[in-house]
Structure 1
Amino acid sequence: MAENGGRSSRSGTGKGAVSTEQVTAGFRRLRQEQQGLASKAAELEMELDEHGLVIDTLKEADETRKCYRMVGGLLVERIVKEVLPALENYKEQIQKTTEPLAQQLQAKRNELNELRVKHNLHLMGEDEKPAAKENSEGAGAKASSAGVLAS
């Protein structure tokens, strides 16, 4: 009986450690998902800006002027009159894609914040930044060893 009690307490602490590891792994997974969404959103925003510049330039050009468009890795010769509506349509599609992506990104941020509050998680260096600045002001030599604790 005493052995079973001892084993259950060990497994209880083991489960606690696994739980902490699971929380940490879940947090890391959520952070990676958030970073992936943010990366995709930034990429789409850049495409949106580029398409806007091209559309503005082509609106000023003559409709019969030749232009080239990249289609599947190939440059295809077209005229402005043909390319402009396609670019505007593609730009609208990108805008429609960015809206739900921004909502997903915000939902992921909220989920991360809830997890941080629920499990009292802190990012490394998050709380030490103000203290590190105070220490670096006091001595210039200690600035090179920022983040190192010595006793």
Structure 2
Amino acid sequence: MGGPGEAELPDDLLLRAERSPPGAGKAKKAARKPARGARGRNCHIRNLMVKVRDLGLGFNSDEIVLFKYCSGSCHRARSNYDLTLGTLLRQQLIAPGPQERVLSHPCCRPTRYEAVSFMDVQNTWQTVEKLSAAECSCIG
């Protein structure tokens, strides 16, 4: 005879559990919360305080603005296309030209942008559209 309460379970529940692949319940829990070391690698927004003149856009301003950018890997977002392309590149069945770069993985890129406003040295407000990332996602 089995453990306590075993007789109370309907037969279809026991069969359903037997049909489930090993570790099926564990995979769902792991997908909800990334491992401690993986948190910094997944695609997300990072912040950097930077002088306007260091942005490289030609504005003369001493102001410091918050620049948001996307950072992290997208290995979990790889599709069958990405896996196949990576294999074909490794086998050298696809050979990019000298000035080409073929990527076999999605990239962490902005999917929405924010404008940034600041005052230049002539006390004029300037607004630069689509300068800072507002959302990031794995693209490709």
Name the structure with the higher strand share: 2
* TM-score, normalised relative to structure 2: 0.24
Name the structure with the higher helix share: 1
**Which is higher, the Rg of structure 1 or of structure 2?**
1
